Structure 1
Amino acid sequence: MSQIRKVLALTGIRSEYDLLFPLLKRLNAAEDFELGIVVSGAHLTPLHHYSVHQIEQDGFHIVAKIESFIWSDSVSAKVKSIGLIIQGLASVLAEEKPDLMIVLGDREEVLAGSMAATYMGVPIVHIAGGDQTDPSEGDVDEEVRHAASKLSHVHLTMHPAHSERLMNLGEEAWRVHTVGNGGIDRLASENGISLEQLAELLGPDVKGQYVIFIYHPLSSAIDMASKEVEIALEALSELNVPVFIGAPNSDPGFTKVLDVLDKFASKPGFHLYRNLPRAAFLTLLKNASCIVGNSSLGILEAPYLGLPAVNVGERQRGRISGRNVQFVNASFNEIKAAVQKALFDKGFSEQAIEDRYVYGDGQMADKSIEILRSLPEKTRLLAKKHIFHA
């Protein structure tokens, strides 16, 4: 039997953990890997209903919990949170001495984890690097994603164009692998709960046509977030279709967004849910008629389901997307027209299913674990060469 590799995975929020889950499950079951989870951020807060409990229920070994969430809408709170994660990881990495550390995406945990692991001499596996967004006013996630990639040693990307972008940034080709989006693994392999069970949780509106609304604040436009949410929900209120509203992430601006969501949740036809069990959310997503807002779900996972998506505002602009997506400004009329098209235009519904495999075919975990098995020894992984193109 080959040597056992010790792997730590860092997770800070439910949405990112759900994308990691298929690979973590495979690693946890493999005899040639020893997996430990480092939990931080929103997982440990009431805002996300202590989603650390889901990780425990999934049977993973949590090696450390790093309390890093600061309840504030300020950008400075986010910076302080990064510092807390780095401090916590310094002790964890010194004690655990992993062979690899896995991070995913472009949140603050990824940057903090990549910085700490680099200084501690731990090779980093970065999932979902090389992606690109292009909001007109900028977004810190873009800089964080690419900074984490340059600190990382192995890249598991969601799309061939992302792999090409990383190599254009100077990453060696042997370190870069296109594997797809782990979220699609879950859509392909998990059934969720029954519609009757979902109705018991959320009410009878789930048995007909309905819309999911999820909106996260954009770092460069915090003050606009609550206004954009109000405009979008006012537009949806005129369509007489039930709306199931998800809570925002923990980025600056989230408390003002929550205030607006709470206001609409008291109106007929609007339902606010917070941190639904994974199986319940899967059923909610699979039976939806449209997803509205600015969540990456509309770009990354919805195409696989043929689910129409209306992306409101600047967040997610510039990303590779399927024909299921309509990008609109935060305009009452644009949002209303786009959702009407998604719900009632049969031709649009038919084209939405045509780009199912934009971000993979549900084999991300299988591909990734074989890549991790084939990696060279630690010393070679750490010896990065940056290929600068003339």
Structure 2
Amino acid sequence: MKKIACITGTRGEYGAISSVLREISKSHDFDLVVIATGMHLMPEFGNTINEINKDGYEIHKINAVYKKDTLGSTLKFISGFLDGLTDELVKLKPDLILLIGDRAEMLAGAIAGQYLNIPVAHLSGGDLTGHVDDSVRHAITKLSDFHFPTNERSKETIIKMGEAEERVHLVGATSIDNIKNKEIPEKEKIAKKYDLNVSKPYIIALQHPVINEIDDVEKHTKNMMDVIVDLKIQSVVIYPNADAGGRKIIDIINQYKNYPFIKIAKNVEYKNYFGLLKYASAIVGNSSSAIIESPSFKIPAINIGTRQIGRLKAENVIDIGYEKEEIIKAIKKSLDDETFKSRCRQCKSPYGDGTAGKKIVKILSELKSKNKIMKKKTSFEK
């Protein structure tokens, strides 16, 4: 039986990879261990470790957290996590490390895999956002042994980076699996949980910090929140991730907590998050979820700023800047423009058919010996 160690540090990436973990746990070929760190262990971001506990996996915690709201705090987090991760991996002796996306936890995991001679499988590589995360994501790709991109463009990007084509498997986005296969709460349950009047429109607002725009993070967040107040629209505003600038965003959000039409959530369990998306009139902000998952619900996605500007998008996405006037115009279009709303209802997701987890586990079960896996050659060497 092969032991797989999956690394997770945030609610978003855990929700995205959860379909793969379910398939692994059902297989007789694998023994699964979840290594949890970062935001999962930070109560101020909603105690998301509880979601992993509820799923019943064997969890190993590495107590590395983002202690400050500065650029340097990310580097200190990577250093502390890599130190603890090294000890944990030496003890666990996994046959494979499973990673997803482009966060600091994943970069540390890829580095550890290479130096400890443990093969690395990377999900969601090759994406192009036009943002600093691209560099981290591509670095993880080069440190990984197997690749599971979400779309054709990303697959081509990975191959252009020199990765052997037989190691690159187009499977789609794993988060779509959850939408297709997970039971989504009824509208009344969502209304009760988040104190919403679902007979009226509501939006989801989720704004993460952007590292190279950190000096403007408060202004950008305030613009979005001021628009919500000006329009007096029901909104579920979700806390950001713990990257540098995240606490500044939280401080701004909480200045609006007394408006009765604004509901603030530290964390939203992914099943409930899909419920919010299903019944929402639009999602606003800069989360990758707005790009990848909203097309499955046929709702408008208003993409603010640069964080996702280069990502592959469906027809339901409106790209705008940070100014209030642009945000107001986009929200009004999402609520009132019947032609655009019809286009959203007909949009197709470029991110797969909801079977990524099954495909990934099937491919992993067919992998050969570790020594053969680690002898990776790039196309430049052929």
Would the TM-score normalized by the shorter structure come out above 0.5? yes
Task: Name which of structure 1's ranges 88-97 and 106-115 shifts more when overlaid on structure 2.
Answer: 88-97
Counterpart for residue 14 of structure 1:
11
Give 1:42's aligned amino acid. M
Give 1:120's aligned amino acid. L
CA contact (8 A) 1:216 1:254 kept: yes
**1:380 aligned to which of 362, 372, 378:** 372
CA contact (8 A) 1:78 1:252 kept: yes
TM-score by length of 1: 0.95
**1:169 aligned to which of 136, 161, 175:** 161
CA contact (8 A) 1:213 1:246 kept: yes
- Paired residue secondary structure (1:188): helix
CA distance in 2, matches of 1:236, 1:344: 16
1:285 aligns with 2:282: no
**1:227 aligned to which of 219, 232, 240:** 219
Q: CA deviation at 1:93?
A: 1.3
Counterpart for residue 358 of structure 1:
350
**1:150 aligned to which of 130, 136, 142:** 142
Give 1:221's aligned amino acid. E
CA distance in 2, matches of 1:167, 1:279: 34
CA distance in 1, matches of 2:105, 2:281: 33
CA distance in 2, matches of 1:318, 1:204: 33
**1:200 aligned to which of 192, 203, 212:** 192
Task: Name which of structure 1's ranges 146-155 and 334-343 shifts more when overlaid on structure 2.
Answer: 334-343
State how 1:89-128 maps to structure 2 within 5 Å: 89-128=85-124
CA distance in 1, matches of 2:176, 2:221: 27
CA contact (8 A) 1:179 1:367 kept: yes
Give 1:113's aligned amino acid. G
Counterpart for residue 339 of structure 1:
331
CA contact (8 A) 1:206 1:284 kept: no
- Runs of 4+, deviation exceeding 4 Å: none
Same amino acid, percent of matched pairs: 33
**2:63 aligned to which of 39, 61, 67:** 67
- Paired residue secondary structure (2:35): strand
Give 1:49's aligned amino acid. G
CA contact (8 A) 1:85 1:113 kept: no
TM-superposition CA deviations, 1:270-327 (whole Å, max 9, x none): 1111112333222111110100010111111011111101111111011110110000
CA contact (8 A) 2:96 2:119 kept: yes
Residues 1:265 and 1:36: Cα distance change in structure 2 (over 3 Å): same
Q: CA deviation at 1:202?
A: 1.5
TM-superposition CA deviations, 1:217-260 (whole Å, max 9, x none): 00101111111111122223232321110001001001111111
RMSD, aligned CA: 1.4
Task: Name which of structure 1's ranges 376-385 and 154-163 shifts more when overlaid on structure 2.
Answer: 376-385
Give 2:19's aligned amino acid. P
**1:49 aligned to which of 46, 49, 54:** 46
Give 1:110's aligned amino acid. M
**2:296 aligned to which of 293, 297, 304:** 304
CA contact (8 A) 1:304 1:353 kept: no
CA distance in 2, matches of 1:207, 1:145: 41
Q: CA deviation at 1:207?
A: 4.1
Task: Name which of structure 1's ranges 314-323 and 267-276 shifts more when overlaid on structure 2.
Answer: 267-276
1:367 aligns with 2:363: no
Long gaps (5+) in structure 2: none
Give 1:53's aligned amino acid. N
CA contact (8 A) 2:172 2:354 kept: yes
CA contact (8 A) 1:169 1:388 kept: no
Task: Name which of structure 1's ranges 230-239 and 95-104 shifts more when overlaid on structure 2.
Answer: 230-239
**1:86 aligned to which of 82, 87, 94:** 82
CA distance in 1, matches of 2:106, 2:66: 17
CA contact (8 A) 1:199 1:207 kept: no
Matched pairs, number: 382
Counterpart for residue 239 of structure 1:
231
CA distance in 2, matches of 1:99, 1:29: 18
Long gaps (5+) in structure 1: none
Counterpart for residue 271 of structure 1:
263
CA contact (8 A) 2:304 2:320 kept: yes
- Paired residue secondary structure (2:231): coil
TM-score by length of 2: 0.97
**1:188 aligned to which of 156, 180, 185:** 180
